[in-house]
Amino acid sequence: MKSTFSAWHYLWKSEDIRRKLVITFVILTIYRLAANVPAPGVNREILEAFLSAGSAGGNFVGFLDLLSGGTVSNFSLLSMGVYPYITAQIILQLLIPIIPSLQRKMQEDPREGRRWQEKWTYYLAVPMAALSAIGQINIFNSLSINSSIGQPILPFGLLDPELAMGSWTVLVAMTAGTMFAIWLGELISEYGIRGQGLSLIIFAGIVSQLPSSLVSLLADEGTRWFMLIFTIIILVLIVFAIVYVQQGRRNVPVMYPGRRMGNRMSMPVKGTLPLMVNLSGMIPLIFASAILQFPAILASYFTSSENAGVASFFLSVQTFFGGSSTSNWGYWTIYFTMVVVFTFFYTTVLFDQQNYGENLKKAGATVPGVHTGPPTQKYLSTVQKRITLVGAVFLGLVAILPFLISLLLTALNMAAASSQTGLFLITSSGLLIVVGVVRDTFQNIDAELKLHGYKDSLLVR
């Protein structure tokens, strides 16, 4: 315990580490200040009336607001956050094993391949941010027009002569806001806590919502104490489950060849190859959420159709995929299924890119009882798929936790409290990000301490 406090003290005592921490906090402060800058042309009165209406559209906005740090409900320039960049990154990672030329590029020169991937991720993030901005504006306007408000929040029409100038202005501004957030994240990775920039940007958005969520939780005098105790219990259980599953490993035994020492040959060395239970992290949740928002974005283009039947159909589609109400069984079932499927798919893509079979063969290492090369890769892939089942189901349960909590509270005759399960969105999907970012950040700071010759750790062992 004494060494732990000593390590914490050394964080501020070391000039280099102190400088990186200060830079990180300053950049995160700039990001949070910029997140409150509204997009040009937004009618604040209509926006506030729409959000206070308590409709399904308001629920959808709350769902979008979850991981954005309140920027969506504010219609901020940074409403999309850094998610277009993450989506672009996922798309390129999925294309690499499909396109042979890209796969060869990554295998022949991994360092140059990573540079190419980073460059094109930035290029692809720009149109992804623009499409996300158009989708968000259309969804807001459609939900507002079809609600009791009856007016658009932000008049928008890229090809409308009367609205074109303002529409292109807000589109460019919101796209630039996303790229600004990405740039801030890169500054953190370069000058602050190394490699944690984008993760800390997302982390800051999630944590910034906790005070307002706590206030809304305590607003109801009849259920405030029950919900507070219930939330604390759920928080503890979720944190324990996340840490337990995220740290889960399957250690596959590996035999490494002995080394020649003069005229003698040392004995083979026993080692292990750790395979992670959850190799894909939060990516399946983010990707499934993006895919589920896509039908609502498409439907928003047709809800104002002159044909009443067409408009009604697409409005129901938008409500189904946009409401995300805890009573929407179909939505949560699809969400769970997509998270599980994407977990398996993305894990397979990442695992195949590692090419353990060929790398172990080059090192002269073998898995006992398995031939080297492709048979080793096939065996390890089978093991990885089996343990991924646990990680996939866990991510799926995390994704639908608000729905499960609502069912539990309803079963306990706490119908009024079940309407407050929006907070559990933060304690499930958001908390998974928070715990992962905190863990990775501490590991990076520990590595910095080791580089400075300090042997103690920040964590109690």
> Which of 58-72, 102-116, 167-181, 348-362 has the highest mean predicted lDDT (pLDDT)?
167-181
Quote the tokens at residue 217. 């939780």
Strand locations in 221-335, DSSP E? 249-256, 260-261, 264-265, 269-276
Structure tokens at 219: 């607003």
Instruction: Give every CB contact of residue 255 below 8 A, 6+ residues apart in sequence.
Output: 268, 269, 270, 271, 365, 366, 367, 368
In angstroms, the CA 29 to CA 32 distance is 5
Amino acid sitting at position 293: Q
What is the DSSP secondary-structure string of 396-461? HHHHTHHHHHHHHHHHTT-HHHHTTTHHHHIIIIIHHHHHHHHHHHHHHHHHHHHHTT----SS--
Which amino acid makes up residue 415?
Answer: A
Q: Does domain 1-208 have CATH number 1.10.3720.10?
A: no
pLDDT tens for residues 15-45?
Answer: 777 888 889 899 999 998 888 888 888 888 8
Percent of the chain with pLDDT over 70: 80
Say what the pTM is: 0.77
Locate 410 and state its tokens.
Answer: 């309803």
Query: Which of 50-54, 135-139, 401-405 shows the lowest mean pLDDT across its residues?
Result: 50-54
Question: What residue ranges of the chain are covered by domains with CATH 1.10.3370.10?
Answer: 1-208
Q: Residue 35 is encoded by which pair of tokens?
A: 């997140």
3-state secondary structure of 254: strand
User: Where does the pLDDT of residue 1 fall: very low under 50, low under 70, confident under 90, or very high at 90 and above?
Assistant: very low
Cβ-based burial of 357 (10 A; exposed 0-12, middle 13-18, buried ≥19): buried
Output the six-digit token pair for 101: 């030329």
